[in-house]
Chains A and B, each alone.
Chain A
Amino acid sequence: MPRIMTIWLPRWPVQRRLVENPALRKVPVFVCRRERRGVMVIVSWAWALPPWTKSARGGGRSSVPRIPSGMSLAEGMAVLALAHGSRACHMAEVEADDPTADRAALERLARQCRRFAPIVALEDAERPECLHLDVTGTAGFFGGEASLVRTAVWTLAAHGIHARVAIADTPGAAWAAAHHTERLDLRHTPPFHRRRRFAIVPPGEQALALAILPAAALRLEADVLTALREVGIDSIGGVLRVSRKSLASRFSPALAVRLAQFTGARAEPLAPAFGEELPRAAQQFDVPMSLREMGEDAIATILERLVGRCAAPLMARGDGITALQVRFERRADGGVQEPCPPVVIDVGLYRPSIAVRHVVDLVRLRMSRVRLPREIEEIVVEVVAAAPALCRQRTLFSGASESAAAEVGMLFDRLAGRLGAKAVFEPRLVRDAQPEHAWVGMPPAASASGSSRTAAVSQGPPTAPAERRPIWLAPRPVPLDVVAVVPALADAGRPPVRFRCGGEVHDVAAAHGPERIETAWWRGPIVRRDYYMVETQAGGRFWIFRRLKDGVWFLHGVCA
């Protein structure tokens, strides 16, 4: 019995942009296309971090309004303004629809998902948002289907991608289950299989387990759904109860096809066509090899050979590696001959590279942070993404500049390889009054390309002058231990004359302020603070504030 795992990536056009630009998570993002007469129609939209997220999680009503695809942008903005005020509309980012880029990004993701199964295919749709993986016989490598879906969900989440995953007998059933993981009937699914983000349909039970799902889960067109609704059929169970002859005579032939694909009566082969095939190289061993006996240098030599074989065809067509996956296929550590999931090392590069040694160094950096198996049977190196390499003809005077820029790009790769991608960033100013949100860390990819080298200085001025901001800012304000205040001025909100910080008592000699910082109500918890830059008698400078709600003093920054 085949088993298919479907990974649904809701609102993929927006998710792709959020992954590429994490700063967009804080604002509503609309992906729109321009229709006739200039009307902007919403293709997809999302607000990843809306206000009141915590209260919504606590069981309250979701604060994100429902704006369906196909609605005009003006209407969508009106709905958003109704829910969050007009300020939310001013914050909103409107991006142009780019289906080609969406598909290309999905294909890259599909290549990365080969870590779960060898056959990965895109959904057969005009705007695909799903990946189908043939996990027949491979789920055992991950400790079972429940472990596999959990691993898939959290692996994607670690990359900032929200996904819903389901496993069923057919792509149609898995598609339906992935789109409605929350509505599955508990009577037919063991409780431990039921999670909000993933679902497992037991073999041969898709008709029973998914009967309660709406008819739209059969991937039907709108006109077919309307016809079904007219005769009172609104669920898969209702469709299944109608005889095949009746379906064929009364409804579109597409319904019979989709139903047959859902039940498995009609095959729906997966076609892993990802455009131009990217290179892959593998080294198999006749007997399981002990990594300890092989030694690090021997592994590096093998990796260099494999990466070199992958890089050669890319070099011939002027491309470079931007993402690479190394898999160590292994047996169980205890010597028991049972399948084990491969140890996978994903390496990303900020700029395309064909420098084999550099790529191998990045793999070795990641290897030092991964628990490798004791024995391996195969090493697989697969290029997951490639892009045109930045090769330019050398000039007489600017050669050093290009090589220095390339070295900076390689430095970012190395730092991100060991410290983690989120630990290396290029700060960008954001026009936000609250100091904690006055900047965001962007991956240095865009600037490393060389075209936007002045990115750090090409933005507008900050919301506050530089002299009013400290060099060090505490991640969270620290309650200040106030030793003495001037009683007559305490009520007026003047700063304390003496406070304790870091075990030392500081006498305030001068204070500059107050600088009042308030955030609007639609930002969530309201922030109302009076900031002072105080200078102590010893010359030290601290950035402290008084919370207007209760008059408590906090230390927020140090002019180190």
Chain B
Amino acid sequence: MVTGGLLEKVSQAGDFAGFSAGWHRGDVVPTGFTPLDRLLPAGGVRRGSLVECLAGGEASGAAALACAVACRLASDGDRAGDTASAIVVVDRKGWFHPPAVLDWLRQRGASGWHAARLVVARPAHDADELWAIDQALRCRGVAAVVAWPRAIHSTAMRRWQLAARASLAVGLFVRPFVARREPSWAEARIAVTPRSGGSLAVRRLQLSLVGGPWASTVQLQERSVEIGLDLARGGEAMLPPWVAAPYVHEREQVACRAS
């Protein structure tokens, strides 16, 4: 009885967080990384949701992954019959270096994908950063918002979730791994841990699901995958078969390794 009540509450929490079947006309966009799509509960990134990339270190590649997924979302505008085609990068730190992302967009445009725009906003204060993210997520012409806020209050994130749900924009936030203990309104929280051994153009990243409201309601195939991020194109790179083979980790083990 008690278990049943708890399960019901968890299911409601999942609904509240936006994880319920048929919530958004089923418009799930592939991330461009097949293993990542298998990892995500919806089989891709759902438009109008928030995704957190928890970086296992400063140079983990989480921001590059977020930008690559944002490029994929923005380029998918015409194919999905949607019109959102702008990527807004809210760069409070002032370190964002756009040439790589511009080159990814240029290559996608040359390949016949939808031409996307990249716009950078550099707020000077933390409050302005939160406000800028909120405004960008409210805009229907924005496909994805990429940001690396230092601290997010739960209330602000809930506001972003509602804003994203209304505009169908996707918020991709890069946060330190220690933020996994904080409550979140993100539909997916992915721990990004770099792995050595890649080439100059290919980066190996281990992705693990961390928490989330789906844990009790969805049977996921995998909890941890490894992808190859093609830094030249911003897409998926083929990894050797012995690396690309899916494998399952327990959540505790993943957390220990990432920390």
Q: Does A523 contact B (CB under 8 A)?
A: no
Query: Do A438 and B99 touch (CB < 8 A)?
Result: yes
Query: Do B116 and A533 touch (CB < 8 A)?
Result: no
List CB contacts (< 8 Å) of A526-560 with chain B: 533, 535-542, 557-560
Residue from A424, A439, A464, A510 within 8 A of B98 (CB atoms): A439
B68's nearest neighbour on chain A, judged by CB, is: A471
Q: Does B232 contact A (CB under 8 A)?
A: yes
List CB contacts (< 8 Å) of B89-119 with chain A: 93-106, 108-110, 115-119
Q: How far is the CA of A404 from the CA of B46 in the complex (A)?
A: 19
* Nearest CB on B from A49, distance (A): 21
List CB contacts (< 8 Å) of A371-422 with chain B: 400-401, 403-408, 410-412, 414-415, 418-420
Q: Does B140 contact A (CB under 8 A)?
A: yes
Q: Does B204 contact A (CB under 8 A)?
A: yes
Q: Which of A2-10, A281-289, A303-311, A450-458 contacts B (4 or more CB under 8 A)?
A: A450-458
Contacts of A560 in B (CB 8 A): 55, 58-64, 95, 148, 174
Query: Do A418 and B128 touch (CB < 8 A)?
Result: yes
Q: How far is the CA of A502 from the CA of B67 in the complex (A)?
A: 23
A-B pairs with beta carbons under 8 A, tally: 199
A415's nearest neighbour on chain B, judged by CB, is: B121
Interface on B for A, CB 8 Å cutoff? 55, 57-64, 67, 83-86, 88, 93-106, 108-110, 115-124, 128, 131-132, 135-136, 138-142, 148, 174, 193-196, 198, 200-201, 203-204, 231-234
B101's nearest neighbour on chain A, judged by CB, is: A471
* Nearest CB on A from B179, distance (A): 15
* Nearest CB on B from A371, distance (A): 17
List, sorted by A's number, 10 A–B pairs whose CB atoms are closer than 8 Å: A400-B83, A404-B140, A411-B142, A418-B132, A426-B118, A466-B99, A472-B96, A473-B95, A473-B97, A501-B58
Q: How far is the CA of A128 from the CA of B147 in the complex (A)?
A: 46
A422's nearest neighbour on chain B, judged by CB, is: B122
Contacts of A509 in B (CB 8 A): 196
B138's nearest neighbour on chain A, judged by CB, is: A411
Contacts of A424 in B (CB 8 A): 119-122
Query: Do A427 and B95 touch (CB < 8 A)?
Result: no
Q: How far is the CA of A538 from the CA of B106 in the complex (A)?
A: 32
Residue from A404, A475, A512 within 8 A of B200 (CB atoms): A512
Query: Do A536 and B196 touch (CB < 8 A)?
Result: yes
Q: Does A191 contact B (CB under 8 A)?
A: no
Q: Does A468 contact B (CB under 8 A)?
A: yes
Q: Does A54 contact B (CB under 8 A)?
A: no
Residue from B95, B120, B122, B135 within 8 A of A474 (CB atoms): B95
Q: Does A449 contact B (CB under 8 A)?
A: no
Residue from A408, A457, A542 within 8 A of B139 (CB atoms): A408
Contacts of B100 in A (CB 8 A): 466-467, 469-471
Q: Does A154 contact B (CB under 8 A)?
A: no
Query: Do B232 and A465 touch (CB < 8 A)?
Result: yes
* Nearest CB on B from A544, distance (A): 11
Query: Do B99 and A439 touch (CB < 8 A)?
Result: yes
A411's nearest neighbour on chain B, judged by CB, is: B139
A427's nearest neighbour on chain B, judged by CB, is: B98
Query: Do B128 and A541 touch (CB < 8 A)?
Result: no
Query: Do A466 and B231 touch (CB < 8 A)?
Result: yes
Contacts of A415 in B (CB 8 A): 121, 132, 135-136
Q: Does A251 contact B (CB under 8 A)?
A: no
Asked, given contacts A419-B128, A536-B59, whether A456 binds B102 with beta carbons under 8 Å apart, the answer is: yes
A401's nearest neighbour on chain B, judged by CB, is: B83
Q: Which of A410, A423, A459 has the most CB of B within 10 A?
A: A423
Query: Do B102 and A439 touch (CB < 8 A)?
Result: yes
Asked, given contacts A407-B141, A439-B99, A456-B115, whether A502 binds B58 with beta carbons under 8 Å apart, the answer is: yes
Asked, given contacts A455-B117, A471-B67, A472-B97, whether A419 binds B102 with beta carbons under 8 Å apart, the answer is: no
Residue from A411, A441, A538 within 8 A of B120 (CB atoms): A441
Contacts of B104 in A (CB 8 A): 466
Q: How far is the CA of A559 from the CA of B59 in the complex (A)?
A: 5
**A-B interface, 7 closest residue pairs, ranked by CB to CB distance from nearest:** A539-B194, A540-B59, A457-B109, A408-B141, A473-B97, A467-B231, A404-B141
A557's nearest neighbour on chain B, judged by CB, is: B97
Contacts of A411 in B (CB 8 A): 88, 135-136, 138-139, 141-142
* Nearest CB on B from A323, distance (A): 21
Asked, given contacts A408-B86, A453-B117, A454-B109, whether A427 binds B140 with beta carbons under 8 Å apart, the answer is: no
Asked, given contacts A466-B234, A509-B196, whether A471 binds B140 with beta carbons under 8 Å apart, the answer is: no
